[in-house]
Copies of this chain bind each other. A is one copy, B any other.
């Protein structure tokens, strides 16, 4: 498929389409009109048609969308039709949570190893995934290249570790450390700053009270 430039707003909506279509599939629904999908997703039908037209459009007039076909096509676009292997840097509570989260695997994200500096954690497994010493990071990655490194370490250590990952050829970082990483242009970083999300929530609480 010809990949044109797609706005980041559309890309943000794609995983949601994928989720809804997955739910439909689970419920045995084979086709759906943009109107029905619109009602379920609380997005206008024209928005849905417009979004999906970015990818050539999968609908047929009078038939609607073939759920399974659309589900698979969106998966391809999202790059989740194949396996993405990951390592988790930081085997604390949060790293363990992510390692335990089997749902990632059903979407093709397979965690291969955990790395930590704590002697207590090194050698431990989480759901069968081994925790290695950070000292072994370079040698391990040389043998086992991965697509994605997940950072669940304190912000003080994060830039150094990111530099080491980049030097090892890692091209994608899912960053939970609370800072903006500096990486070369060809490395993609997706940030999840939980406390910023919480602040947006508290802003909305405060703004609502102001209105009263």
A interface residues with partner B (beta carbon < 8 Å): 3, 11-12, 14-16, 18-19, 41-42, 77-80, 84, 92-94, 96-98, 100-101, 103-104, 107-109, 147-148, 171-172, 174, 178-180, 186, 188, 190, 192-208, 210-211
CA distance A210 to B204 in the complex (A): 39
CA distance A107 to B199 in the complex (A): 9
- Chain B residues with CB under 8 Å of A172's CB are 201-202, 204-205
Interface of A, helix, strand, loop or mixed by DSSP: helix
Q: Is the CB of A190 within 8 A of B186?
A: no
Q: How many copies does the complex hold?
A: 2
CA distance A186 to B198 in the complex (A): 18
Q: Is the CB of B200 within 8 A of A12?
A: yes
Q: A93-B93, A93-B100, A192-B197 are in contact. Are A79 and B148 (CB under 8 A)?
A: no
CA distance A198 to B195 in the complex (A): 18
- Chain B residues with CB under 8 Å of A190's CB are 197-198, 200-201, 204
